[in-house]
């Protein structure tokens, strides 16, 4: 469809084109010096000691959880209000996902109090998701993980440069995992990054990212090694030079893009202030500074049915989405890991009311005005 206001739009220009072309012309495409440079630059920007680039955010969460030793018989506690990858990756380690609720309609982020309620003798990890780019309460979750000796993994897919109490998301837990999927704040098409402050974990992540091999193709190409050993069965979760080159350009734009997203979010809040059937989360003061990956609103009482709103906006060329149908509600999760809706009261009440409006750095005031007008028109016509 040719949207007048798409849900998301890339901020790519001649700089990304030139970076990709330079790699193509260099003749070396797979993981090499550019990946290493991107890792160094990303780690520095996040304020983490180590970064390990991987083929996707999903690969990153799986690799981190596997490298931390999560496996059969273990439980990991995570929110149900997340993209399914957060839970699928726990399942792929052989561990059992246990869903915890979010705090409130106004802060739909993993609730440390409910996490504590869901702890059992088998709990080994907490996966915190900085939903929509807004950081969870990392003081509470960090303290809980330390006290109970749980691994804390941060799913930072939405949250590059988000902060809690002045410290970047991704640096609180054993590992923080970012996604560079096309619609993310930093896009390379597909890709991800794991950050950690733990040298031994970083070493293990690097090894397992590439089959558990002690030397890589680049080492052999450079004449540094003729042979390799495999010390543990690993994966092929490598990143590549073309995407690393694009990632470096995107990293340079990240702060500016995040600032423009914040301006757009502020404009939506002003435009929709008087619409009493729309409630906008993440407005209360907290120690968090979000990076506005997406702009979910809550359809309060008196709102038109969500599907009618989405259809009506579509007729006006405006794309909307839903983030997310809760993971525990998907058929395979209902079958394999049955979770009562009543055990997740906020998530269950909130999810059917969520609607995501378009948000990206180049979104114009005029486009946002059309979105607000289309929302109002839907009520007038009902
Ligand atoms: C919250 C969350 N976690 C994990 C992922 C997985 O990232 P990727 O698409 O790079 O595998 C995503 C991607 O959309 C996400 O939104």
184 is catalytic: yes
Closest ligand 1 atom to the C-alpha of 155? 3
Closest ligand 1 atom to the C-alpha of 183? 14
Indicate whether residue 192 lines ligand 1 (CB < 6 A): yes
Indicate whether residue 58 lines ligand 1 (CB < 6 A): yes
3-class SS at 80? coil
Q: What are the pLDDT digits (tens) for 254-300?
A: 999 999 999 999 999 999 999 999 999 999 989 999 999 999 999 99
Indicate whether residue 83 lines ligand 1 (CB < 6 A): yes
- CA gap 177, 170 in Å, rounded: 7
Pairing outcome for strands 288-289 and 163-164: antiparallel
User: Over pLDDT 70: what percentage of the chain?
Assistant: 99
> What are 261's two structure tokens?
């997203």
**Residue 223 pLDDT class (50, 70, 90 cuts):** confident
Give the pLDDT score at 138: 98
Say how many residues make up the chain: 382
- CA gap 340, 327 in Å, rounded: 12
Indicate whether residue 129 lines ligand 1 (CB < 6 A): yes
Cα of 54 from ligand 1 centre, angstroms: 13
Q: What are the pLDDT digits (tens) for 158-205?
A: 999 999 999 999 999 999 999 999 999 999 999 999 999 999 999 999
Pairing outcome for strands 75-79 and 96-100: parallel
pTM exceeds 0.95 for this model: yes
Indicate whether residue 155 lines ligand 1 (CB < 6 A): yes
Nearest CA to ligand 1 atom 10: 57
Cα of 154 from ligand 1 centre, angstroms: 12
With a CB cutoff of 8 Å and minimum separation 6, the contacts of 44 are none
Cα of 202 from ligand 1 centre, angstroms: 21
Give the pLDDT score at 1: 82
Indicate whether residue 188 lines ligand 1 (CB < 6 A): no
Cα of 224 from ligand 1 centre, angstroms: 36
Of 27-31, 203-207, 216-220, the poorest mean pLDDT is in: 216-220
Q: What are the pLDDT digits (tens) for 75-132?
A: 999 999 999 999 999 999 999 999 999 999 999 999 999 999 999 999 999 999 999 9
Phi, psi of 299 (to 5 degrees): -85, 110
């Amino acid at each position: 469809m040719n949207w007048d206001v798409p849900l998301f739009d890339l901020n790519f220009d001649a700089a990304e084109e030139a970076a990709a072309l330079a790699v193509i012309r260099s003749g070396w495409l797979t993981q090499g010096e550019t990946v290493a440079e991107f890792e160094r630059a990303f780690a520095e920007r996040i304020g983490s000691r180590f970064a390990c680039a991987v083929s996707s955010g999903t690969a990153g969460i799986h690799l981190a959880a596997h490298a931390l030793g999560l496996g059969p018989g273990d439980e990991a506690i995570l929110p149900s209000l997340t993209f399914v990858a957060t839970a699928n990756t726990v399942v792929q380690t052989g561990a059992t996902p246990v869903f915890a609720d979010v705090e409130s309609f106004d802060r739909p982020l993993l609730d440390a109090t409910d996490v504590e309620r869901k702890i059992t003798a088998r709990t080994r990890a907490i996966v915190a998701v900085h939903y929509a780019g807004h950081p969870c309460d990392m003081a509470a979750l960090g303290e809980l993980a330390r006290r109970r000796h749980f691994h804390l993994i941060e799913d930072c897919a939405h949250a590059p440069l988000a902060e809690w109490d002045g410290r970047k998301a991704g640096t609180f837990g054993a590992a923080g995992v970012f996604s560079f999927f096309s619609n993310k704040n930093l896009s390379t098409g597909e890709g991800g990054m794991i950050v950690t402050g733990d040298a031994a974990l970083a070493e293990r992540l690097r090894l397992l990212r590439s089959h558990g091999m002690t030397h890589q193709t680049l080492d052999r190409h450079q004449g540094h090694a003729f042979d390799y050993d495999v010390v543990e069965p690993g994966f092929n979760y490598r990143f590549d030079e073309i995407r690393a080159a694009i990632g470096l350009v995107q990293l340079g734009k990240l702060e500016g893009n995040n600032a423009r997203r914040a301006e757009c979010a502020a404009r939506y809040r002003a435009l929709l202030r008087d619409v009493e059937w729309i409630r906008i989360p993440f407005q209360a003061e907290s120690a968090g500074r979000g990076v506005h990956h997406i702009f979910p609103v809550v359809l309060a009482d008196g709102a038109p049915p969500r599907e009618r709103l989405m259809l009506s906006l579509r007729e006006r060329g405006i794309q909307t989405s839903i983030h997310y149908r809760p993971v525990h509600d998907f058929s395979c999760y209902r079958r394999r890991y049955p979770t009562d809706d009543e055990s997740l009261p906020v998530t269950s009440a909130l999810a059917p009311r969520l609607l995501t409006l378009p948000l990206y750095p180049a979104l114009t005031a005029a486009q946002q005005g059309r979105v607000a007008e289309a929302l109002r028109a839907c009520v007038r016509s009902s």
